[in-house]
Amino acid sequence: MIDSKYIYIIFGFLALICFIGFGIDIMDIDAAQYASMSREMMTSGQYLQLHDLGKDYLDKPPFLFWISSLSLKLFGITNFAYRLPSFLFAALAVFSTYKLSRLFYEKNTSILSAIILASCQGFILMNHDVRTDTILMSWVIFSIWQLAEWFQKNKLIHFIIGCAGIACGMMTKGPIALIVPIFAFGSHILLQRKFLQIFKWQYILGAIVIAILLIPMSWGLYQQFDLHPEKIVNGDKNVSGLKFFYWTQSFGRITGASPWDNNSTIFFLLQNMFWSFLPWIFLFIVACYVQIKEIIRQQFFLSDNQEGITVGGFLLTYLSLGISKFQLPHYIFVAFPFAAIISARFINDLLLANKHRKIINPLLYFHFISFILLWLILITLLIWPFESISLLTSCLAIVVFIGFVILFFKIKNPAHSLLVICLYTSIGLNFFLNAFFYPSLLNFQAGSTVGKWISKNNIPTKNIFIYQYPIWRSLHFYAKGIVAQKDSLSEISSGDYILTNEKKLHTIKENGKAYTLLYSGYDYPVTRLSLTFINPEKRATVVEKFALIKIK
């Protein structure tokens, strides 16, 4: 059994890393767009209809914007206020994963499942790069936990709460919140051969609960889009918001009805799990293989004390997402709680049941070598790219790395050593990334840097205009207002504040418009790191210099 004091220490460090991440500027494009829209919703007071920079928005459902705008209203327009709701839902996901696991496994496995989820790279990343997937993951695993409680204890309250969780998940990211529980429990029922559980009157009640809770969002979509066929949305007229949300956005990516297509293959999400489920991904792959092999050996039959929710839920969710014509790395995050429980069961067998002894040493040394490479990459990122990261910080990282090596050789039990180096690496790397690397990197995000300068100097956004330069989503959030565009020099007047590429300044001056330079800096799409940007000697070839001026 894992000592309770170590559990508190582990979660304490993981929470600290997330709180440090609260101070990082919100990254363009998606997270900053959602932050800007939440601020816009708070300002306008229009909660049933979504707008992005004043234009109709039809993509994501409203739940993220509802809770984010409420937090911004309570705590102000800050990084903390925008990230707080997502962090609270992340905590709910960890707790729900523990509780679901506890229904089927001993306490040690359940604790491990919570630790694995909370310490994987994707989970830590989405606590500061906020998207809808964190809240979706939380609602889905929460609803599955409640439905599993209902299946075991037959208390109707658990079923109703579970259905409410599904509805909230649908208001977060669409029908996937309903599909994943169906995959999970469908697999469980099929493998246990309990087919009568498919035919229960409570499902009708559940459909009614979900439908009632979806009314506000559906009514907003109907009012904003279905009642206005003349609106041009994403280049089309006669767009039904209800059809888009309940069909096109999710199933249309499989059938071809959706225009989104990035030619992703069935392996795309797995390839990205090699970073997003670190440091547990290799253990998960082995664990998944072992569990599938066990099910095959049992001729696809599970006894009453076994569960098929996690392995079936993960595999079917992965396959359904993997056949989509448009995929992004974070789409698989909804299935991470399943992966955490599958991995925890395997690791617990290594730690306490003394199983799989033949593979423990190869796994240990493979992870040790892999993690050494990760530590060396981290130290390089702290020493090389940014002068703003002090030499003392780099030396501290080297000392922590040496501690990693010492721990590896000091712990004699290979299973214990494997668990420790995984956690040590996850906590250590993300501490340095959140505290030092990301803040230095975000100095090159023009939207947030100039937006904060505008807010600090109390310049009204109605007087600021972007001239022939890309719109940064983060600008509108940090400037605390929508910054409009002016595309022609004839539109620029005396007293205007103009934000533009530095190369445009010569053109402005040539056209007889004198100005005062107020603020300048460098801009780079920070979510698309390249070796050229990382190399300080070549960085100038890929960054753009922007300028904020005031026309005299």
- pLDDT tens digits along 89-118: 999 999 999 999 999 999 999 999 999 999
Domain identity same for 138 and 155: yes
Inside any domain, residue 31: yes
Q: List pLDDT tens digits, range 360-397.
A: 899 999 999 999 999 999 999 999 999 999 999 999 99
Inside any domain, residue 241: yes
Strand-strand pairing, 464-466 and 497-501:
parallel
384: tokens are 């090389």
Strand-strand pairing, 55-56 and 51-52:
antiparallel
Domain identity same for 37 and 174: yes
Q: List pLDDT tens digits, range 126-162.
A: 998 898 999 999 999 999 999 999 999 999 999 999 9
Domain identity same for 330 and 189: yes
Radius of gyration of the chain (CA): 25
Distance from C-alpha of 117 to C-alpha of 298, rounded to nearest angstrom: 28
Contact 453, 443 (CB under 8 A): no
What average pLDDT does the segment 286-300 reach? Answer: 92
Inside any domain, residue 332: yes
Distance from C-alpha of 110 to C-alpha of 477, rounded to nearest angstrom: 39
Domain identity same for 173 and 70: yes
CATH at 534? 3.40.190
pLDDT at res. 115: 96
Residue 249: which pLDDT band, with cuts at 50, 70 and 90?
confident
Contact 261, 326 (CB under 8 A): yes
3-state secondary structure of 540: helix
Q: Quote the DSSP letter at residue 248.
A: I
Chain position carrying tokens 């780099």: 394
Asked which of 443, 463, 491 is the last residue of a domain, the reply is: 443
Inside any domain, residue 291: yes
Give bridge partners of residue 408 from the DSSP assignment: none
Domain identity same for 202 and 100: yes
Domain identity same for 202 and 126: yes
Inside any domain, residue 500: yes
Domain boundaries, position 119? 4-253+263-353
pLDDT at 252 over 70: no
Give the contacts of 507 (CB within 8 A, at least 6 positions apart).
489
Inside any domain, residue 258: no
Please state whether 495 falls in left (phi above 0), alpha (psi between -120 and 50) or beta.
Answer: left
Inside any domain, residue 314: yes
Buried-exposed string 400-421: b where 16+ CB fall within 10 A, e elsewhere = bbeebeeebeebeebbebbbbb
Contact 1, 112 (CB under 8 A): no
pLDDT at res. 258: 59
Domain identity same for 16 and 29: yes
- Structural domains in the chain (count): 3
Phi, psi angles (nearest 5°) of residue 518: -105, -40
Helices (H), 232-335: 241-243, 252-255, 268-276, 281-297, 309-322
pLDDT at 306 over 70: yes
Domain identity same for 422 and 473: no
Inside any domain, residue 463: yes
Asked which of 353, 371, 389 is the last residue of a domain, the reply is: 353
User: What residue type is assigned to position 345 of the chain?
Assistant: R
147: tokens are 């439905």
Domain identity same for 414 and 484: no
Domain identity same for 300 and 209: yes
Asked which of 338, 353, 368 is the last residue of a domain, the reply is: 353
Report how far apart the first and last C-alpha atoms of the chain are (Å, whole number): 71
Domain identity same for 225 and 78: yes
Q: From residue 101, how far is each of 138, 184, 287, 407 by CA, in Å? A: 15, 13, 15, 30
Distance from C-alpha of 356 to C-alpha of 353, rounded to nearest angstrom: 9
Strand-strand pairing, 497-501 and 55-56:
unpaired
Domain identity same for 67 and 206: yes
Distance from C-alpha of 177 to C-alpha of 169, rounded to nearest angstrom: 5
